[in-house]
């Protein structure tokens, strides 16, 4: 059996995968969708630990594990896989931020992005949380999707943007695929190419798992099948 561990991005929660997971279940896959802590003092390391707990659960079941990170979670899943490479068969990024040892959201992002995030945090009550941007920032324009998404978004700890990943290089021995959305909002394809991942485009907005869940599920399953067949060879 294969378990897809799906890790949500900034400002989101496990609910981000609600429209996607039924298609994975129909294909016979198990799924785990950890909830990342969004308290003031939470940083990337806290989120990595929460993903490692999920990996332990999947490993106990004896499953092959595909570790998937959306957006900010690209950094999380790579560090988690680096710490427990024997538990992860494949890493897949969806519009994922990613880099080598020492990379962080702020080190990868443009100055304009960094300045906007810092300004939003400084305008908040204690400066530790970044208020969620509106649904349109994720490419969500349909009125029904906007009404569904807006009340679910939560403030994100600023530390998750500033804290750097720590990688030993073990994650680079795990096969990786990066699905990037078109039109692009950030150069996610270039991030992926720089770390040696195979890149696959999908037409849809940054929150493609909400707008095109079936198409995304098909790409995830295809990426898994491709890697499984390569391993058999």
Give the domain ranges of the chain.
2-232
Name the residue among 62, 63, 66, 55 with its Cα closest to residue 90.
Answer: 66
At residue 126, the pLDDT reads 81
Q: What is the mean pLDDT of residues 49-69?
A: 91
β-pairing, 30-32 with 2-7? parallel
User: Is residue 227's pLDDT more than 90?
Assistant: no
Name the residue among 102, 36, 58, 47 with its Cα closest to residue 80.
Answer: 47
β-pairing, 156-157 with 129-130? antiparallel
Q: Which region holds residue 182: left if phi is over 0, alpha if psi is between -120 and 50, else beta?
A: beta
Tokens 């909400």 map to which residue? Answer: 210
User: Is residue 189's pLDDT more than 60?
Assistant: yes
3-class DSSP state of 182: strand
Question: What totals of helices (H) and strands (E) does the chain contain, helices first?
Answer: 10, 8
Residues in the chain: 233
Euclidean distance between CA atoms 181 and 202, whole angstroms: 5
At residue 63, the pLDDT reads 76
CATH of domain 2-232: 3.40.50.1820
- pLDDT-derived band at 61, boundaries 50, 70, 90: confident
Which DSSP letter does residue 126 get? S
User: Is residue 232's pLDDT more than 50?
Assistant: no
Name the residue among 176, 198, 175, 179 with its Cα closest to residue 188.
Answer: 179
- pLDDT-derived band at 233, boundaries 50, 70, 90: very low
Average pLDDT taken over every residue of the chain: 94
Q: What is the mean pLDDT of residues 185-189?
A: 95
Neighbours of 187 (CB within 10 A): 13
């Amino acid at each position: 059996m294969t378990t897809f561990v799906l890790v949500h991005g900034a400002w989101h929660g496990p609910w981000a995968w609600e429209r996607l997971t039924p298609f994975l279940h129909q294909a016979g896959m198990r799924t785990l969708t950890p909830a990342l802590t969004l308290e003031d003092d939470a940083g990337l390391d806290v989120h990595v630990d929460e993903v490692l707990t999920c990996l332990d659960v999947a490993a106990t079941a004896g499953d092959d594990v595909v570790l998937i990170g959306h957006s900010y979670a690209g950094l999380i899943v790579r560090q988690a896989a680096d710490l427990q490479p024997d538990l992860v068969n494949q890493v897949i990024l969806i519009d994922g931020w990613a880099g080598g040892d020492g990379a962080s959201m702020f080190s990868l992002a443009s100055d304009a992005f960094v300045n906007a995030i810092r300004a939003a945090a400084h305008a908040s009550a204690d400066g530790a949380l970044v208020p969620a941007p509106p649904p349109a920032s994720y490419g969500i324009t349909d009125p029904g999707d906007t009404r569904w998404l807006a009340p679910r978004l939560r403030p994100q700890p600023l530390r998750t943007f500033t804290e750097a990943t720590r990688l030993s290089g073990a994650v680079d021995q795990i096969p990786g695929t990066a699905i990037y959305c078109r039109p692009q909002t950030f150069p996610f394809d270039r991030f992926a190419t720089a770390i040696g991942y195979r890149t696959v485009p999908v037409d849809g907005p940054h929150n493609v798992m909400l707008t095109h869940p079936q198409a995304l599920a098909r790409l995830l399953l295809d990426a898994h099948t491709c890697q499984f067949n390569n391993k058999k060879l």
